[in-house]
Amino acid sequence: MSGVAEISQVEDSVRELLVDVLGVDAEQAAEMESDTPLFGALPELDSMAVAGLLTEMEDRLEIMIDDEDVDGELFETFGSLVEFTAGKLEEGA
Amino acid sequence: MRHLTYSWADRDEQLLTCGPDGAEQRILFVPPLFDEMNRVRRTLVEAMRILGDTGISSTLPDLPGCNESQAKLEDQSLEDWRDAITAAAKAIDATQTFSVRGGALIDDGPALPTIRLSPAKGKSLLNMLVRTRIVGDKEAGVTTTAEALRTEAENGSVELAGHNISALMWNGLETAEIPDGSDAALLKPADVDGSALWLRAEPQHDPAMAAGLAEMLAKGSAAS
């Protein structure tokens, strides 16, 4: 998973998740860039929301996430979440 | 809006009911489980009010161990909840059920026509509970594993996201599949002008979704 088109697809799925799961405003999600902070910056994102987001990611993207991966750091920025998701999709491919 | 009760395991549990006495259509709402119930309760109750205004009766029961119930959550299993829903359906002589998320795991006891909104697998609900605990602990600098939590449950009960879960509940969730309901109608949030309110960190109210739900349920009950 290195093509530009593929990464932008992953970005779109992650944006969709943030909107659907957290109720983030669609415009706000569209403006997110890889260094946009998430955890600690989005009031919607508490520990329960992190758990919900991961579980919904598994269901929608058909990936498996180990509990060891579950970490606030993963949600530090929009970019870190996209990178994690792309990695998981690649593992499953 | 009135409070009726149903009796289960020697206790009276609440049945929040809306709509005229003697209504021909009596819908039993089977609520989502754990935190998800709190997050959609307001929108569900609003849908019940709208249904009541159109002459349809609907009832939202407390599951034993939840909401106003005096029973302990750690004493409950999914089987208990299925039985409780069956008892609640009997108490109001329900003509159909409407289940939301994890409610679909326990809605098959009364064997009535059913509509399900975004049914959730037990395993997903359990993962969410376990992860909430793991992430919360991690923030506090404590490393917790799912195995350790499971062992704790087996030794009595384990607190997950504010809920005391017994080993029986843990195992039940781990293996629970949505019961076969080939005639169950499936709804997605988009079908009722809504969104996945049950996933929101802050409970939100969605009047459009309440109206959409009421409309869909009224249609469903008219067809049955």
Express the helix, strand and coil content of chain A in percent, nearest 5 each.
65, 0, 30
Q: What tokens appear for B106 in the block?
A: 């326990």
Residue B151 and residue B62 share a domain: no
Average the pLDDT over each of A77-81, B65-69, B116-120, B134-138 and give the range with the smallest value: B134-138
CB B224 within 8 A of CB B96: yes
pLDDT for B126 beyond 90: yes
User: Which residues have C-beta within 8 Å of that of residue A60, sequence separation ≥ 6?
Assistant: A13, A17
Number of domains in chain A: 1
Residue B106 and residue B146 share a domain: no
Residue B77 and residue B110 share a domain: yes
- Give bridge partners of residue A66 from the DSSP assignment: none
Predicted local confidence at residue A5, as pLDDT: 53
Report the distance separating Cα B100 and Cα B29, nearest Å.
Answer: 8
Nearest CA in chain A to B199: A21
Predicted local confidence at residue B224, as pLDDT: 39
Residue B137 and residue B188 share a domain: no
Range of the domain at A81: 4-92
Phi first, then psi: what are they for B216, rounded to 5°? -65, -40
Residue B150 and residue B61 share a domain: no
Residue B142 and residue B210 share a domain: no
Range of the domain at B90: 2-121+178-223
CB B16 within 8 A of CB B59: yes
Q: pLDDT per residue over A77-90, tens digit each? A: 999 999 999 999 98
Q: pLDDT per residue over B30-76, tens digit each? A: 999 999 999 999 999 999 999 999 999 999 999 999 999 999 999 99
Render B66-88 in DSSP notation, one character per residue. STT--S-GGG--HHHHHHHHHHH
Predicted local confidence at residue B127, as pLDDT: 92
Q: pLDDT per residue over B25-34, tens digit each? A: 999 999 999 9
Pick the last residue of a domain from B138, B158, B175.
B175
Residue B127 and residue B117 share a domain: no
Measured in angstroms, the CA of A36 and the nearest CA of chain B are apart by 20
Measured in angstroms, the CA of B48 and the nearest CA of chain A are apart by 24
User: What ipTM was assigned to the predicted interfaces of this complex?
Assistant: 0.79
Number of domains in chain B: 2
Residue B102 and residue B27 share a domain: yes
Helix (H) or strand (E) holding B6: strand B2-8
Q: Looking at residue B218, which CATH number applies to its domain? A: 3.40.50.1820
Task: List b or e across B139-154, with b for residues whose CB sees 16 or more CB atoms inside 10 angstroms.
Answer: eeeeebebeebbebbe
Predicted local confidence at residue B222, as pLDDT: 41
Collapsed DSSP state (helix, strand, coil) of residue A39:
coil
Average the pLDDT over each of B92-96, B105-109, B178-182 and give the range with the smallest value: B178-182
pLDDT for B96 beyond 60: yes
Instruction: Of A91, A74, A71, give the one whose Cα is nearest residue A83.
Output: A74
Residue B148 and residue B84 share a domain: no
State whether A70 and B135 contact (CB < 8 Å). Answer: yes
Residue B105 and residue B10 share a domain: yes
Residue B166 and residue B60 share a domain: no
State whether B135 and A47 contact (CB < 8 Å). Answer: yes
Q: Looking at residue A28, which CATH number applies to its domain? A: 1.10.1200.10
Render B33-69 in DSSP notation, one character per residue. PTHHHHHHHHHHHHHHHHHHHTT-EEEEEPPTTSTT-
Residue B139 and residue B76 share a domain: no
